[in-house]
Structure 1
Amino acid sequence: MRAVVRRAAALGVAVAALVLAACSGTRFEPPEVQGAPLMVAVDGKPLLLVLTKQEERRVSRTGGGRNNSSTERRDTLFHFDLRAYEPATATPLWRARLVTFNDPKAATAARSTRIVGSATSGALLGQEDDRVWLQIAESPLAVAARDGAVRVDAAAIEAANPELAGRLPSEARFYGFDRGLVVQAADARRWVLRGPALQAQPWVPGARPAPPAPLKANGMPKVVPTRPGGDVPVRMAVIDGRRIGLYAPNEAAAAANDPFGDRLAYPYSILDEGAASRRSFWTVQTAPVQRFDERYEHIRRLEPVAGSAVFLRGRFLKQLPGEDVLAASNPDGVFVWHSSRMDDAGRLSLTRLDTRLQPLWTAELPMSESGTANPVRYWLLDNRVVVMGQWRREIEHQVSRQPHLVSIALDDGALVAHNLALEPTDQRDPTKVPPRHAGASAAGD
């Protein structure tokens, strides 16, 4: 497959020259986001990079002269592009075509080329100084963070490191990132490539000191509840000096069942009813407990907040990185993520509340709730939250998944959104997109 990546650009040019001379039709599928978007810094300014894969289908016809005979040909191509955005305004800046997959034998007169690259994927790995490491299929690449120009490919890595010649892994899972490209070679040795010279150095995973195990008063280790995998919603916060929980009734009852203090010490262990949970605010009352030689705080009871708003799948906006709740100021308060509906037609929303837990504004985003394959991701930049996710919609019994980039002002909820699926298919001019306006997606809702 690496040989296909190395030849992809040349093959794409050859196919274009052959097909476009008599091209009768071209269709592009919506771009698919590959892996996690990456927020990088260029000249000290944030830049959001997104790796996408887009399928192109071409139908061409030749002939049709005096004998009225013609030949129809069908080609399928898969383009991998690196797209850059100004995150605060959700504005596309540039796009770089990195690789195109197609049938290596496409230059023949076959009526239908083989489909090559449909199962291929890619991922952004991380930023190292002025370049960004990524992988497409099993091939590593480094590109300029400024404009996406390819700086390093597999051939350059092998040329700079004879010990890696012929030993680069044939599976993407053997690549990683640690302030440079991490490679586990085919002989199982681990290397890291850092700096402009690309010199491979032996790599050892950094030691992560394990947190000290909590102990009981008698010196025995305390059993800590297992933390769920993935992003854990935060549903408890201190607001204006009060401990406030955001729970459905069954979740609140489970939180109040806290004889050993685990629900207070480890809030992630409280029952989570998921997408169908109708959550409102509760005052969390705590009290000390003396049990033999141990003394600890536990949740004594929860009291519903009168007149509390109800949020479907509500949870607090977090201060990233970490698990602390993001506090609002001028006026003080908090932010809550929630859903507009519990089914797959629901949209992600963000509401700001004051210290009396009264909503000040709500912004409904043109994207669906988090999913396992394509979770919603967000960043906090200069009093704005920048969000990337997919909007899943069913249109005429067909499911459409369109990636959206959204920027929300945290002071007043003003929203701008950009639909990546509406960018022009010609990567030479990605900024010519339909005009956007505040409060709506470029999809032309």
Structure 2
Amino acid sequence: MLAGGAWALLQPGRMSLSPPELAGGPLRIRDAETDRVFLITTQWTSWSEHRQATIRGSRSRHVTDLWIYDTAGRVAPRRLRLATADRAFQGSPSLLGAEASTIWILLPSGLVGISAREGQVTADTARLEAHNPQLRGILGVGAQSYRFDDHGLRLTTMDGREWRIDPGSLAAHPVNADNTRSPPHVTRPAWMAPGPGWLQGRGVSVGDRWFGLLNEQDAHQFRTRGPLGDMDHTRAGRHRLWAARREHLAASERRRDEDPVWTLLTRARYVDFTPLPESPEFQEAGLLRTVGEPSQMPLLLRNPDSVLVLHRDVLGHRQRLRLTRLSGPTGRAEWETALPISMVNAVMPAPEASPVTLDASTEMVLFGTETFAQTTDNARSGQRYWLVSLRPSTGHWRARDVTDDAMRIRAEQISGQSN
């Protein structure tokens, strides 16, 4: 048996990984059999060769990975290596969207299709050219050549023509006025919030009723000047859930003390402002919402009718997010839970759900970051990525540390890295 020191001298090398960087937004795909989240990360792998306790050489490579997560947590996450290079790529990889069971990804080297069910590469430049000789040599590689819309993938070749690709057969069809096919199902990546507060809305209208977060000062301004903008977290203050009634007006019904601009545009007046009696107070709060098409409204839950309030527990570097479900008509807290993140970057309801109203029995997925602030010389700073699967009916959740997954060195990764 070798002693520890002798074993160290015989080790051919060591591998280290830089923290991962997320490329674009995550994509959730749910069908009768599976419920998965797909996301792309990039990071550096460094390999150093050791001989006689000294470093004889080193090499770094930039890798791009597709991660496949089971939202129920029954299956371990899977990593698919998309690209490896000796230097950082020019341009960032992009997860364009899913069309039927094919996920379209744009890499700096070109377009790639991945099977959402098997996690295998089903399309690339070589395959597309083999199925479509008319595209040989004219497929673009930049973002300007590809876009993803309500009809799926749309590409522009170097000769200026536009095409649709059938995800099943890989056949290319020219885009024209008579070719407006409707794919079986199109899913886009979740919109990524660039900073805190973007996914926290002020209020939501339900019929002729309005519900939202206000304090006394906000309510006075709303009553006299019209609807307020989004929550302003640069100003200190606590808020609770209020209700108001919306009246439709004719132009001649506007009062002199009302602002003419918003009354003219909305033809509405908000009256009967009342704080809901059982609503708690929150700090740095907002109604959880999605942003982007087709809606930017806060999410609504049924049975009972309710909203989700995203708020902070404490201020400062130790702050974490909390989520509370408030139900009508009194604003009662059905549950409150502490989340393992300090910012929500993306909200992913079930893909087949209504843009606004959610089934409380169906899990929603949050993608967020946990930020570490450096408070001492020995404390680390940075951030970690998390996927949180949450059941709105109970507030129970499961979380997966994406950063920890990416930092694990497995045997299949090490193989071939020192060549």
Q: Aligning the two structures, in what range does the TM-score lie when normalised by the shorter sequence?
A: 0.7 to 0.9
Compared with structure 1, are the counterparts of its residues 348 and 136 closer, same or farther at alpha carbon in structure 2 (3 Å cutoff)?
A: farther
The alignment status of 1:235 with 2:202, answered yes or no, reads yes
| Count of equivalent residues | 356
2:361 matches 1:377: no
1:273 aligns with 2:232: yes
Contact 2:231 2:285 (C-alpha < 8 Å) held by counterparts: no
Mark the CA change 1:240 to 1:345 in structure 2 (over 3 Å): closer, same or farther.
farther
The question of 1:193 aligning with 2:165 is answered yes
Corresponding position: 1:350 with 2:350 = no
Who is 2:365 aligned against? 386
Q: Matches of residues 254-273 of structure 1 in structure 2 within 5 Å?
A: 254-258=221-225, 263=227, 270=229, 272-273=231-232
Note if 1:338 corresponds to 2:311.
yes
Distance 1:288 1:200, change over 3 A: closer
What is the match of residue 59 of structure 2?
75
The Cα shift of 1:182 comes to 1.8
Helix, strand or coil at the partner of 1:256: helix
Secondary structure of the corresponding residue to residue 402 of structure 1: strand
Counterpart of 2:132 (choices 138, 142, 161) is 161
Give 1:139's aligned residue.
Answer: 110
- The answer for the alignment partner of 2:261 in structure 1 is none
Q: RCO higher in 1 or 2 (8 Å CA, sep ≥ 6)? A: 2
**In the TM superposition, what is the alpha-carbon distance from 1:324 to its structure 2 partner?**
5.8
Q: Residues 34 and 163 (structure 1 numbering): CA distance in 2 closer, same or farther, change over 3 Å?
A: same
Residue 406 of structure 1 pairs with residue 406 of structure 2: no
The corresponding residue for 1:364 is 338
1:123 to 86, 90, 94: 94
Where do residues 311-326 of structure 1 align in structure 2 (5 Å cutoff)?
311-318=282-289, 322=295, 323=297, 325-326=299-300
Equivalent AA in structure 1 for residue 342 of structure 2? S
Q: TM-score, normalised by structure 1?
A: 0.68
Distance 1:397 1:324 in 2: 37
Q: CA RMSD in A?
A: 3.6
Structure 2 distance, partners of 1:348, 1:204, is 48
Distance across 2 between alignment mates of 1:240 and 1:129: 35
SS at match of 2:349: strand
Report the equivalent of 1:284.
244
* CA-CA distance at 1:237 after TM superposition: 4.0
Corresponding residue number in structure 1 for 2:189: none
Cα distance in 2, alignment partners of residues 90 and 241 from structure 1:
43
Structure 1 match to 2:175:
203
Structure 1 segment 17-56 matched on structure 2, within 5 A: 23-41=12-30, 44-56=33-45
| Separation (CA, whole Å) in 2 of partners of 1:274 and 1:184 | 43
CA distance in 2, matches of 1:177, 1:271: 29
Pick closer, same or farther for the CA change 1:204–1:392 going to 2, 3 Å.
farther
2:353 paired residue number: none
In structure 2, the residue corresponding to 1:255 is in which secondary structure? helix
CA shift, 1:353, in A, is 2.2
AA aligned to 2:363 is R
Give the partner amino acid of 2:307: V
Distance 2:131 2:392 in 1: 48
The match for 1:246 among 188, 213, 216 is 213
Amino acid aligned to 1:168: L
Q: Which moved more, 1:292-301 or 1:310-319?
A: 292-301
Give distance in 2, aligned partners of 1:195 and 1:287: 49
Is the alpha carbon distance of 1:358 and 1:165 closer, same or farther for their aligned partners in structure 2, counting shifts above 3 Å?
A: same
Q: CA deviation at 1:87?
A: 1.1
With normalisation by structure 2, the TM-score equals 0.72
Question: For the structure 1 residues 378 and 197, does the alpha-carbon distance in structure 2 shift closer, same or farther, using more than 3 Å as the test?
Answer: closer
**Residue 404 of structure 1: CA displacement?**
0.6
Separation in 1 of the partners of 2:94 and 2:234?
29
Q: Which ranges of structure 1 fall in alignment gaps of 5 or more residues? A: 1-20, 103-115, 208-229, 264-268, 430-445
The letter of the residue matching 1:361 is W
- Equivalent residue letter for 1:56: T
Cα deviations by residue, 1:221-275 (Å, 9 ceiling, x for unpaired): xxxxxxxxx96644324689964321245543332234xxx63xxxxx6354135
- 2:70 matches 1:86: yes
Cα deviation for residue 84 of structure 1 reads 1.4
- Once residues 95 and 199 of structure 1 are traced to their aligned partners in structure 2, the CA distance between those partners, rounded to angstroms, is 28
* Runs of 4+ deviating beyond 6 Å: 238-241
Matched residues in 2 for 1:363 and 1:319: separation? 20
What per-residue deviation string (whole Å, max 9, x for no partner) do you get for residues 385-416 of structure 1? 22112212125454322111111222222221
> How has the CA–CA distance of structure 1 residues 390 and 351 changed in structure 2, closer, same or farther, with 3 Å as cutoff?
same
Deviations along 1:14-51, whole A, 9 cap, x unmatched? xxxxxxx9643211123222211111246643221122
SS of equivalent residue, structure 1 residue 410: coil
When residues 304 and 293 of structure 1 are mapped into structure 2, their CA distance, relative to the original with a 3 A threshold, is closer
CA distance in 1, matches of 2:176, 2:319: 45
